[in-house]
Chain A
Amino acid sequence: MSNSIVLAGPAAETTRIVAFWILAIFAVGAALGMVVARKAVHCALLLAVVMLSLAILYLMLGAPFLALVQIIVYTGAVLMLFLFVLMIVGISAADSLIETIRGQRLWALIGGIAMLVLLSLTIGHAVIGPAAPGSAKFGNANVTTLAHLIFTTYLYPFEITSALLITAAVGAMVLAHRERLKPKPTQRDLAAERIASGRPTPLPGPGTYAQHNGVHMPALLPDGTQSELSVSEVLAGRTGVAEQPPAALPGGSSSSAGQEAGDQ
């Protein structure tokens, strides 16, 4: 793996230093951004940056297996799960800036600094030696040695994790399952509901007879007014409905001209 390249040779030391500082700055910057960013999606993407930086740091520390697991499991699976849930739970929801507990941010910051001082003092007292001399365990033989450890010394914990994973899967299914309280509406029910709603036709598509057919461009009704129903609520909430001049369409050729503009 690539860490054997990083570990060997005198010139590699400079590479290691440069790589460490670049990755450390990336990771800390992205982590700070994650705490500060107001939109949850930005937080998720910044967390991805932190996790990818950590994966490369694992490579530098002689853990190629963990680096790949970090990318596949964390960045691939866990973060995608986060993004899926964000799509369900309201993509537009940004944190409000009003504090519900007075002085919460200030005290959290003070607590954080206190924790940093405490951890630094404790770890500063511990003796952190230099890295052990490099061996095949941290290079090409990493995966086989880890496999030996997992399937001999750590066999019981490994087996117990399977019970944990099954419990988690069953728990997620139970929690996310929704009981159907009413019988499934039939086609007849749906048709009756539609007629009763007062709008039996489909909603107007965005951009119909408008200047262009962007999804944020409201359709023009026959009298030249805009139809708010033609733009998705999520889109209107995020970017706002596009402005367009209220000019009435010119006489006879209006429908064909509008159609051409819409097709472009």
Chain B
Amino acid sequence: MVTPAHFIALSVILFVIGAVGVLVRRNAIVVFMCVELMLNAANLAFVAFARMHGGLDGQVIAFFVMVVAAAEVVVGLAILTAIFRARRSASVDDANLMKY
């Protein structure tokens, strides 16, 4: 028997893996991918709860999350290319000008 609880548990695990990835990785693009993974995990939780409650509102919210994520990726990657052009590196360690 596969209940919505199974899907929620999977979404929790994926979310935590994404969060650990954001903390551990130093290539800015990979950090971005981990953020995407966290958004996807949240989407899975939304869809699972929608299935549990028998309404489609959760699916609509997941749809909006996808739209926002797409916009975020476009702007984020544009910022990354701009940073890379300025300092020839995609590592989050090298973008430390604000520190001083």
Chain A residues at the B interface, C-beta cutoff of 8 Å: 13, 16-17, 20, 24, 27-28, 31-32, 34-35, 40, 43-44, 47, 50-51, 54, 57-58, 60-63, 65-66, 69-70, 73-74, 77-78, 81-82, 85-86, 88-90, 93, 95-96, 100, 104-105, 107-109, 111-112, 115-116, 119-120, 123, 128-133, 135, 137-138, 142, 145-146, 149-150, 153-154, 157-158, 161, 164-165, 167-169, 171-173, 175-176, 178
Asked whether B18 lies within 8 Å of A82 as measured between CB atoms, the reply is: no
A130 to B55, CA, bound (A): 14
Asked whether B12 lies within 8 Å of A31 as measured between CB atoms, the reply is: no
In the complex, how many residues of chain B place their beta carbon closer than 8 angstroms to a beta carbon of chain A?
A: 71
Partner of B21 from A34, A77, A88, A93 at Cβ < 8 Å: A34
Determine chain B's interface SS by DSSP, over half rule: helix
A60 to B48, CA, bound (A): 10
Q: A74-B66, A164-B67, A164-B71 are in contact. Are A13 and B93 (CB under 8 A)?
A: no
Chain B contacts of A161 at CB under 8 A?
Answer: 64, 67-68
Q: A82-B29, A82-B73, A146-B59 are in contact. Are A16 and B2 (CB under 8 A)?
A: yes
Partner of B18 from A31, A78, A153 at Cβ < 8 Å: A31
Chain B residues at the A interface, C-beta cutoff of 8 Å: 1-10, 12-21, 23-27, 29-30, 32-34, 36-37, 40, 43-44, 47-48, 50-57, 59-60, 62-64, 66-75, 77-82, 84-85, 90-91, 93
